[in-house]
Amino acid sequence: MILLDGKAVSLGIQETIKTEVRMRFTPETAPKLCVILVGENPASASYVKTKCAMAQRLGFRHELHHFPADVSSDQIEARIDALNADPDCDALFVQLPLPKHLDSVALANRVRSEKDADGLTRASMGALLLGESHGFQPCTPRGIIRLLDAYGIELSGKEAVVVGRSNIVGKPMGVLLQQRHATVTTCHTKTLDLANHVKRADILVAAVGVPHLIKGEWIKPGAVIVDAGFTKTADGTILGDVEFEAASLRASHITPVPGGVGPMTVITLMAQTLHAALRRKTPSKSEN
Ligand code: NAP
C-alpha cells in the first residue's frame, strides 16, 4: 500500500512557487492574497492561519480582513468591492462557512473572476463545467487531481465513486474525474446501498464529514482511496470519512488524514494566487 502523501507533494510545489516568486517579483510586487474572515469559528480561524502562513512562506503578500460575527452583508459587500477594484490585490476569497445571516453563495460570487483563487464563483464553476482551461478551479478537487497525478495514477476508464455532492468538493470532483475520462458515480444521503457503490470503486473520493462512514471491508482490493473528510473530535483527534487501518489492508493507495488532501487544498490556493498575479503582470490582450 502506498501512502498518497499530500504534505510531501505540497513541499515540491512550494519550492517551484518560491522560485517563480523570486524570479518574477520583488517583495513589493509579490502576489497578494486577501482573505475575508467573519466571526470567531475556531476551524475557520485555523484554516485562515494556515493559508496566511503558507502565503508568507512562499514570499507572497497577504492581508486578513477580519469582521465580527454580527457584521452586515453590506459591510462585507463593500469590502469585497473595494478589493475587487484594488489593482494591488491579486486574489481574494471569503472563508466559509459564514454566520447564518449572511448569504455565502452570493458573497463568494461577488469576488471578481480574475481574483477567484478559490475557484468558487459562478464564472469559475461554469468554466469548469464547460471544460474551459482559463478558469480557476475549486481548490480541494483540483488539489486531489494534482495529488493523483503526482503518483501517476491512471484515471481514464476507471470506475470512480465520489461520496458527497457539495459545491466545494463533491460536485466539482465528479466533473474533474469525468474530464479525465473516469466513469463517475456520485453518492449522497439519498443514495440507496452506499456500500455497493463503494465496492465497485477503482478510485474512491470521500468528502462527507462523517467519521469512518466508509468501512474498510467495502474497499475493492487495489482501489485508490482519497479521503477529504476532516472531523475534529472532542479530544482533538482528527478523523477522516474512511476507516483508515482496515481500508489500508485492501487499497493500493490511500491518503492519510491529516496530511493528504488538506495540504493539497492549501497549495492549490497558492498556485492559483500566483497564476492571478502572473496575469496581472502580463495580461493577455483579451484581459486588457
Ligand atoms: P458538506 O457541504 O457538508 O457536504 C457533505 C456531503 O456528504 C453532502 O453532499 C451530503 O449529502 C453527503 N453525506 C452526508 N452524510 C452522508 C451519508 N451518511 N451518506 C452519504 N453521503 C452523505 O461538506 P463538504 O464541505 O463537502 O466537506 C466534506 C468533508 O470534507 C468535511 O469533513 C470537510 O471538513 C472536508 N473538507 C476538507 C477539505 C480539505 O482541504 N481537507 C476541504 C473541504 C472540505 P447531501 O447532499 O444529500 O446532503
- pLDDT at residue 283, rounded to an integer: 67
User: Side chain identity at 118, as an amino acid letter?
Assistant: D
Is residue 271 within 6 Å of ligand 1 at its C-beta?
Answer: no
Q: What are phi and psi of 41, to 5 degrees?
A: -55, 115
C-alpha cell at 248: 489500508
Is residue 281 within 6 Å of ligand 1 at its C-beta?
Answer: no
The model's pLDDT over 18-52, given as tens digits with 9 standing for 90+, comes to: 999 999 999 999 999 999 999 999 999 999 999 99
Q: 31 C-alpha vs ligand 1 centroid, how far in Å?
A: 31
Mean pLDDT for 255-284 is 94
Judging by beta carbons within 10 Å of its beta carbon (0-12, 13-18, 19+), is residue 26 exposed, middle or buried?
Answer: exposed
The model's pLDDT over 236-254, given as tens digits with 9 standing for 90+, comes to: 999 999 999 999 999 999 9
User: Side chain identity at 251, as an amino acid letter?
Assistant: A
- pLDDT at residue 73, rounded to an integer: 98
C-alpha cell at 56: 508568507
Residue 287 — very low, low, confident or very high, per pLDDT cuts 50/70/90? very low
Distances (CA, A) of 122 to 97, 101, 268: 18, 21, 19
Q: What are phi and psi of 238, to 5 degrees?
A: -105, 125
Q: For ligand 1, what atom is nearest to the CA of residue 240?
A: 32
Is residue 263 within 6 Å of ligand 1 at its C-beta?
Answer: no
Distance CA 38, CA 222 (A): 43
Q: Which residue among 32, 51, 115, 220 is the active-site one? A: 51
Q: What percent of the chain has pLDDT over 70?
A: 98
Is residue 193 within 6 Å of ligand 1 at its C-beta?
Answer: no
Q: Indicate the DSSP class of residue 160.
A: E
The model's pLDDT over 112-161, given as tens digits with 9 standing for 90+, comes to: 999 999 999 999 999 999 999 777 999 999 999 999 999 999 999 999 99
- pLDDT at residue 64, rounded to an integer: 98
Residue 104 — very low, low, confident or very high, per pLDDT cuts 50/70/90? very high
Note whether 211 and 229 are within 8 A (CB).
Answer: yes
pTM: 0.97
Judging by beta carbons within 10 Å of its beta carbon (0-12, 13-18, 19+), is residue 240 exposed, middle or buried?
Answer: buried
The model's pLDDT over 167-181, given as tens digits with 9 standing for 90+, comes to: 999 999 999 999 999
- pLDDT at residue 56, rounded to an integer: 98
Q: Map residue 33 onto helix, strand or coil.
A: strand
Mean residue pLDDT of the chain comes to 96
- pLDDT at residue 280, rounded to an integer: 85
